[in-house]
Each structure stands twice: as structure tokens, then as C-alpha cells.
């Protein structure tokens, strides 16, 4: 069974931004899918287990953006 969590990320403005966030978050253990939408600032993550919010925050930070919290 997988879980889906939606996060609000600030700073994404284009497809390149979406790609950077997708790449970093996809590297987290257990993540099977990541959808980042610059227009809404929402990042939807599907993973095998509930993710640690701080791990997601670190991945988003590594991509150069800021995690505002869960949507």
C-alpha cells in the first residue's frame, strides 16, 4: 500500500523548477512518484511509507526551493 502526500513549495516558476524538485524528491527512499506543478506550487508525492516531512524539506531545499508545509 502506498501513501500520497501533497506539499506546498514556494519559488517554483517553470518546468525547470518542477524538474529540479522532482529529481531531488524522487531520490528519497520509498518514493515511487512525484508530481510538481509550478503554477499551483503543489508537489504531490507517492511513497511506499509515509515520508518524514524534514526529509522532504531537505530535498526541496537541495533543489533550491522552500517547503511551506503540507497542502
Inform me whether the pLDDT recorded for 7 exceeds 90.
yes
pLDDT digits (tens, 9 = 90+) for 42-70: 999 999 999 999 999 999 999 999 999 99
Domain that holds residue 50: 3-70
CATH number at residue 14: 3.30.70.100
How many structural domains is the chain composed of? Answer: 1
Inform me whether the pLDDT recorded for 15 exceeds 90.
yes
Cα–Cα distances in Å, from 30 out to 6, 26, 27, 62?
16, 9, 9, 18
**pLDDT tier at 11 (50, 70, 90 boundaries)?**
very high
pLDDT digits (tens, 9 = 90+) for 24-48: 999 999 999 999 999 999 999 999 9
Phi and psi torsions of 56, nearest 5°: -65, -45
Amino acid at each position: 500500500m502506498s501513501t500520497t502526500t501533497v506539499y506546498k513549495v514556494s519559488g517554483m516558476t517553470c518546468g525547470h523548477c518542477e524538474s529540479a524538485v522532482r529529481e531531488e524528491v524522487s531520490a528519497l527512499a520509498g518514493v515511487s512518484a512525484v508530481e510538481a506543478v509550478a503554477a499551483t506550487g503543489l508537489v504531490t508525492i507517492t511513497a511506499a511509507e509515509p515520508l518524514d516531512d524534514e526529509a522532504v524539506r531537505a530535498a526541496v531545499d537541495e533543489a533550491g526551493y522552500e517547503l511551506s508545509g503540507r497542502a
